[in-house]
Structure 1
Amino acid sequence: MLKNKFKILAVAMSLAFIGSLFAGCGNSKNGSDSNGKSTIKVNIAAEPRTIDPGLNNTVEGAQVICNAFEGLTNLDKNEKPIPGVAEKWDISSDGLTYTFHLRKNAKWSDGKPVTAKDFEYAWKRALDPKTASQYSYQLFYLKNGEAYNKGKAQENQVGVTAKDDYTLVATLENPTPYFLSLTSFPTYDPVRKDVVEKNPNSWATKPETYISNGPYKLVEYKSKDSLNFEKSPNYWDNKNIKINRIEFKTLENASSYYAAFKTGELDLIDKPPAAETPELLKSGTAKAYPYLAIYYYDINLSPQAKSINSDAAKALSDVRVRKALSLAIDRTSITEKVTKSGEIPATSFVPKGTSDSNGKEFTDKEYFSKTADIPQAKKLLAEAGYPGGKGFPQLEILYNTMQGHQNIAQAVQDMWKKNLGINVTLKNVERKVHLAQLQNHQFILGRDGWTADYDDAMTFLDIFTTGNGNNMAGYSNLKYDQLISQAKSEPDKAERAGLMHQAEDQLLTDLPIIPIYYYTEVVCMNPKLKDAHISNLGFFIFRDAYLEK
């Protein structure tokens, strides 16, 4: 009886705290403020590390950027590229030169015109090694893009040129069938040279300096609370933007943001608590959307691992150990008993539903079982010198704050203890710390995930090339690098797909990562919120959204 009373009190205090977070922010329950202007509140589950288009590499950052900025192209609801800042374009017969014709009424949020020079500057800035963009490789499709990034070419040799204020010419290294989709991706968004260079380290943290060119402009940046945007009066298609204000909330605790959704204080959340999800899906309160994304653990194979835990680093350098760890995980149990949101156990790295360039689904092979293969896992661990886990060093799993990540880590911890006799500790840190430690290879095993930047298997495979900014495992294999390089330059679609399959074969032979499941995007949305685009690339796009009266 006392336990129940305290539980009721705790829930009441939690709801009161949530209410205080949203006090004074307008009435989300009816979707409008006292002036009748529509406002929506969207939870992005963590404060972005950055909302600088050239530096961002997280989903939460992209959620904001894709509504604040606009690239040469946009994505429609079928994920196909449509005109954005560029109203039309020409492609040369060899597929190497794209000439974009910019609309002359495109403007920045401060009223200045958007020009081709802004795109040229942004792309070269992201490629500049001094910028240290983790997504610089996404611009290696440009002629001499990689060479410039690696100090082997000059800036003026990069294949992007503003022919005049409204004509941008992009020259590619090789024909790239998804290039128009890439130009809708945040790294390809324009930024203003005068704005960035005046405040290079802080321009993307303040409303007065965060000058953007999309439907919404930043009006408030409340650290650890929300990033608030209002409709930009200078956006070229302003008259068709129906939502006046978007408040991006950064609640990380699933129970808290789900409670806020239930009370009407949030209009959209994703990843509701696992225990609630099956019933939410059944009732229609939540909906599962297609999502090209994978959940996995990085194994730190970089030289830095030795300084974290030399014994663990030595053990994990043996591929038999890595395979044993992977085989000892029951992925079906995790998806059915832990996450419970329709996720699919991952038996490859490229998620099901991802295209190859030959018009087919890429995934055609299962590299390991959906359930644990305990006998084989024990056999491999014994061959590596650790029979029954004897003498095996203690491991640590790093993950960022969210109940779901903790639940998965605890499940893996239990499986490795029970199936292999290995002891594992868990380390929970806030998202920004988690990202920094992954990027700097300051971990042993790290929770990670990857969402497609475009619908092609390459978006998953090229992150593991040597030195890639998103290669958190520090994996390096010359054969793998060569296969990816060959695939990017191969004009024959069937041959290209074959090379990518060979690359995945190599990746999952070496196992610098442990795939766990393919995501689904489970979203709870205010039923009055219409035409919000829930992209299979992980974006929430509100360009066409409106609140039903």
Structure 2
Amino acid sequence: MKKRLSIFFSMLLVLSMFLAACGGKNNADSDKGGDGGKKSDVPQELRVNIKTEPFSLNPGLANDSVSANVLYQTFEGLTRIDKNGEPQPAMAEKITKSDDLTKYTFKIRKDAKWTNGDPVTAQDFVYAWKWALDPKNKSQYAYQLYYIKGAQAANEGKGSLDDVGVKAIDDKTLEVTLENPTPYFLELTAFYTYFPVNSKIAQKNPKWYTDAGANYTSNGPFKMVQWSHSDKIVLEKNENYWDADAVKLKKVEMYMINDPNTELSMFDNGELDWAGKPFGELPTDVLPQLKDEGKLHVKPIAGTYWYKFQTEKPPLNNKNIRKALAYAINRKAIVENISQGGEIPAMAAVPPSMFKENEKGYFKDHDVKKAKEFLAKGLKELGLKDVSQLPTITLSYNTDEGHQKIAQAVQDMWKKDLGINVKLDNSEWNVYIDKLHSGDYMIGRMGWLGDFNDPINFLELYRDKNGGNNDTRWENPQFKKLLIDSQKESDPEKRTQMLKDAEKIFIEDMPVAPIYFYTNTWLQKDNLKGAVVSGLGDVQLKWAYLE
């Protein structure tokens, strides 16, 4: 997530406790009896910690998991991912496809409304998608819309927004034409870049999304009633939501406390109902004890923690220097002694949930011998006599105890095994993500959680040098061609092989050093039921309630 960019997070799982019954042919998300039809005396108010200020609460600008975990409560797309990980009609009550799977027609629900009472229209989707594609708005996730005919050309300034294949046939009918058949398109329409925006509000006030108030209109289960920047966001149940009967929580308070020890303390003191991912973070040093006590929830998710290389900055413009750094990392030590959440060491980019063989990966973990060979080769190519002539490398990360510990460990590994001097640099999330997007870094930590359940989501980030989340500035023509051709391949096995071939090229060039595949680790109050955390790492509170 930043996907799905993640703060990774950072981004991040299917929660073992679900209560989301399906009702109606086109309403798999509806739950008329989440609490068994019984009224509870327990206040339906949930308290979580999201760690930091969201990057943006405009669906067209959001690119991180913090923003995502707010947007998934306040907005809704044409589809919504249900408790089983399948897309179901949401804002759309009926969906039809052409025989060649390149044209979709969505009928918007008659009772779909914005929080201010305005009807949700097909024009609101057209407006939101074209706004994100407009190059002047600099949407980092605009590429997620490239499946739509003419979208990439418009975003790159090579075509017109008028030619993008999305149009409102009438107020309640949206027609979408794709470049190629896309088997996971209905999963994409549940992702936040595909959310609608109240076009009437946005056209009157371009900064509608910067604060709570009359301008901040949304169409999901909850509405935002308070946004105390860098402090707290408060959501309340949206009575205008088409499926309001399924929503049991009356209020959700989201604190912004970027200290895992404080978060855990608040949970222990009854001030939070949830501690840990995907909302917040637990202190890594207490995870083994919490696991031994049977309190810790642990679930693998489709996500990768990696270090990005700025491949235009010497000496990281040399492939062999990058490979030396990647091979010298002791991932097993990191997951066993630092992260301690049952993560899998990553020697590949795509999670094992998508490519099973990636549990092993493409190279040996902590292969110091091989790393030294790459280092020697890289130094020779750069015309340097020895490692002492390498400039000090800066390793950047966003402020967080876990990221700091990993960075310190990697700093020591590179010094001990390769003799490379590394300087650590940390900054708060909003400052940090701007650094990466502007290329003002050498090596930077990032996590990627899948936006949809397909390997291309982990590879297409790096398809284009100037792509939305490709902070590495790396591009490879063969890699790019394989990704483009894979989108036209109708044979699933051939397509999968093309993506695997692309990943091999990616690992050979090493624009990023994968560290581990994510798990989510969290604590929750025993009486919290029905919260749905997907295998992609996002959380939905639509069906949550307190017993």
Q: Fold match, TM over 0.5?
A: yes
Q: For the Cα contact (< 8 Å) 2:86–2:187, is it kept in 1? A: yes
Q: Helix, strand or coil for the counterpart of 1:384? A: helix
Select which of 245, 251, 260 maps to 2:251. 245
Alignment of 1:464-479 (within 5 A): 464-466=462-464, 467-479=466-478
Select which of 61, 79, 84 maps to 1:73. 79
Alignment of 1:3-402 (within 5 A): 37-270=43-276, 271-302=281-312, 313-354=313-354, 361=356, 363=358, 366-370=361-365, 372-385=366-379, 389-402=387-400
Q: Distance in 1 between matches of 2:539 and 2:502?
A: 31
Q: Helix, strand or coil for the counterpart of 1:292? A: strand
Task: Give, in angstroms, the shift of residue 117 of structure 1.
Answer: 1.0
Q: For the Cα contact (< 8 Å) 1:107–1:235, is it kept in 2? A: yes
Task: Give, in angstroms, the shift of residue 213 of structure 1.
Answer: 0.4
Q: Distance in 2 between matches of 1:107 and 1:461?
A: 36
Q: Helix, strand or coil for the counterpart of 2:420? A: coil
Opposite residue 168 of structure 1, the aligned amino acid is L
Select which of 450, 453, 456 maps to 1:455. 453
Task: Give, in angstroms, the shift of residue 37 of structure 1.
Answer: 4.1
- TM-score, normalised on structure 2? 0.89
Q: Distance in 2 between matches of 1:512 and 1:382?
A: 19
Post-superposition CA distance 1:132-159 (Å, at most 9, x none):
1111010000011111112222222111
Task: Give, in angstroms, the shift of residue 164 of structure 1.
Answer: 1.1
Q: For the Cα contact (< 8 Å) 2:344–2:359, is it kept in 1? A: no
Q: For the Cα contact (< 8 Å) 2:393–2:421, is it kept in 1? A: yes
Task: Give, in angstroms, the shift of residue 36 of structure 1.
Answer: 6.4
- TM-score, normalised on structure 1? 0.88
Q: For the Cα contact (< 8 Å) 1:289–1:523, is it kept in 2? A: no
Q: Helix, strand or coil for the counterpart of 1:350? A: coil
Q: For the Cα contact (< 8 Å) 2:437–2:471, is it kept in 1? A: yes
Post-superposition CA distance 1:17-52 (Å, at most 9, x none):
xxxxxxxxxxxxxxxxxx964111111222111110
Identify the range of structure 1 (197-206 vs 246-255) with the bigger mean alpha-carbon deviation.
197-206
Q: Distance in 2 between matches of 1:416 and 1:517?
A: 17
Q: For the Cα contact (< 8 Å) 2:116–2:214, is it kept in 1? A: no
Select which of 414, 437, 440 maps to 2:438. 440
Q: Which runs of 5+ in 2 are unaligned?
A: 1-40
Task: Give, in angstroms, the shift of residue 324 of structure 1.
Answer: 0.7
Q: Helix, strand or coil for the counterpart of 1:329? A: coil
Opposite residue 448 of structure 1, the aligned amino acid is M
Opposite residue 297 of structure 1, the aligned amino acid is Y
The count of residues paired between Structure 1 and Structure 2 equals 498
Q: Distance in 1 between matches of 2:109 and 2:540?
A: 21
Q: Distance in 2 between matches of 1:389 and 1:327?
A: 16
Opposite residue 310 of structure 2, the aligned amino acid is N
Q: Distance in 2 between matches of 1:73 and 1:380?
A: 47
- Structure 1 vs Structure 2: percent identity of aligned residues? 41
CA RMSD for the aligned pairs? 1.5
Q: For the Cα contact (< 8 Å) 1:378–1:387, is it kept in 2? A: no
Q: For the Cα contact (< 8 Å) 2:436–2:471, is it kept in 1? A: yes
Opposite residue 470 of structure 1, the aligned amino acid is N
Q: For the Cα contact (< 8 Å) 2:222–2:237, is it kept in 1? A: yes
For residues 388 and 517 of structure 1, do their structure 2 counterparts lie closer, same or farther at Cα, with a shift above 3 Å needed? farther
For residues 526 and 177 of structure 1, do their structure 2 counterparts lie closer, same or farther at Cα, with a shift above 3 Å needed? same
Q: For the Cα contact (< 8 Å) 2:311–2:318, is it kept in 1? A: no
Task: Give, in angstroms, the shift of residue 503 of structure 1.
Answer: 1.0
Task: Give, in angstroms, the shift of residue 103 of structure 1.
Answer: 1.1
1:430 aligns with 2:428: yes
Q: Distance in 1 between matches of 2:330 and 2:72?
A: 36
Q: Distance in 2 between matches of 1:492 and 1:384?
A: 40
Q: Which runs of 5+ in 1 are unaligned?
A: 1-34, 303-312, 356-360
